[in-house]
Amino acid sequence: MRVFKFGGASVKDADGVRNVIKVLDKTGFSDLVIVVSAMGKTTNALENVVEVYLKKDNGFKKEIQNIEEYHNQIVEDLFENKQHPVFEKIKSLFLDMKTLLGRNKSTQHDFIYDQIVCYGELVSTTIISEYLNHRGYTNDWLDARDFIKTDSVYRDTEVNWSTTQQNIAQKTNKKGLSITQGFIGSDNNNFTTTLGREGSDYTAGIFAYCLNADSVSIWKDVPGVLNADPRVFNTTQLLSHISYEEAIELAFYGASVIHPKTIQPLQRKEIPLYVKSFLNPEGLGTSVKKGQPLDPHLPCYIVKKNQILLSLSSLDFSFIVEDNMSQIFSLFHEYQIKVGLIQNSAISFSVCLEDKFIHFDELLVKLKAKFRVTYNTNVSLFTIRHFTDEAIMSLEKDKDILLKQITRETYQMVSR
């Protein structure tokens, strides 16, 4: 049993969907679960629908129309027969979304987000499943919400592993070809939940763990895991194989190729992970397995933009000690703030934060009641794993550095 994951860039248009078949022809398509993300930039577009809708602006209807037209064009390019059932299925999904928004009474952003953004994956997998059937690749379409059960922390939910494992083990066809959605699950009330942005990789890891899969393959628009993001750095090199531990470190610091939670379930059962190019399925790619050294042993550069550098000091110049730390991190947890770097002295405490749920302003109110607060928004957090002096000098050149920190294997710098 194998698990494949195709991201949005790999299925952004009709040619991308056709290329899925080319990959399957080279790799085989039996005993396989395929996890698929929303097509292209659909998740971004649906996030915008949510924002416009919550402003009570009817412009969200036009936004939905644009998304529907984008998918209809892909379907028209794939199916010559305009009476094919896929056209009605896509129309029905968009009608469901519009009806949901029309009847919704909730004003909770994160709840509405999960109920709407999930349609990206529901539509993409419907199109791909129908196209594979059309081309003779018989498959089962699985609604991931019937399999992956979670708590009710919308947008950043935790998996109920015992129920999920039971569902996947009992309901999945282990001998054929199945298509399911990345990123989504459901809570005990059967409301849709999401696993965190870019969570489709994690879905692949969940299915692999529950099925005792032989391997997971993530198909990307890059040749594998690179030592830097080619969109940011001019020169990059392929990491041909790395250990689970190193992959977790890279993902934690913000490497975008693998979702941070993906590795943990695979590592527990020693299921190998392969990151490969959907444009070159037979290429070497990157393998992530137990005990592998980083090869080649290169500095790995990671950048996270749109961060916040927050500095706190006590109002009475007393020490920032364990009790203060506990209060601060409790507030970070309450407001879903992610911490990427920590540095403290006797009377001050600095952290680099990611505010992906837009709760920082609420957090500030609480912090200012207890601490003297300064902060910088829209800063960048740079990390080098396995740094060298040359790598640091190159990265620091021409940058306005606000903070930096070096440990045995990792260099971090905040700049604006």
130 is in an annotated binding site: no
7 is in an annotated binding site: yes
Burial of 47 (0-12, 13-18, 19+ CB in 10 A): middle
Residue found by looking up tokens 């083990």 in the block: 169
Using DSSP's 3-state secondary structure scheme, residue 357 falls into coil
Using DSSP's 3-state secondary structure scheme, residue 13 falls into coil
First-to-last C-alpha distance (Å) of the chain: 47
Is residue 282 within 8 A of residue 274, CB to CB? The reply is no
- HSE (CB half, 13 Å, CA atoms) of 73? 9
CA 120 to chain centre: 14
6 is in an annotated binding site: yes
> How many other CB atoms are there within 10 angstroms of residue 310's CB atom?
25
Q: Cα–Cα distance between 127 and 111 in angstroms, integer? A: 26
Q: Cα–Cα distance between 14 and 78 in angstroms, integer? A: 6
231 is in an annotated binding site: yes
Residue found by looking up tokens 């992610």 in the block: 338
Order across the sheet with 371-385: list the strands. 338-344, 348-354, 300-314, 371-385, 410-415, 401-406
Q: Cα–Cα distance between 37 and 124 in angstroms, integer? A: 7
121 is in an annotated binding site: yes
Helices (H), 175-240: 200-211
Q: Is the peptide bond before 293 cis (omega within 30 degrees of 0)?
A: no
Q: Cα–Cα distance between 59 and 69 in angstroms, integer? A: 16
Is residue 124 within 8 A of residue 40, CB to CB? The reply is no
Q: Cα–Cα distance between 353 and 308 in angstroms, integer? A: 5
Q: Cα–Cα distance between 7 and 200 in angstroms, integer? A: 8
136 is in an annotated binding site: no
Task: State residue 272 phi and psi, 5-degree precision.
Answer: -70, 145
What tokens were used for 363? Answer: 């957090």
Q: Cα–Cα distance between 208 and 211 in angstroms, integer? A: 5
59 is in an annotated binding site: no
Point out the annotated binding site for substrate.
43, 121
Point out the annotated binding site for ATP.
5-8, 231
Point out the annotated binding site.
5-8, 43, 121, 231
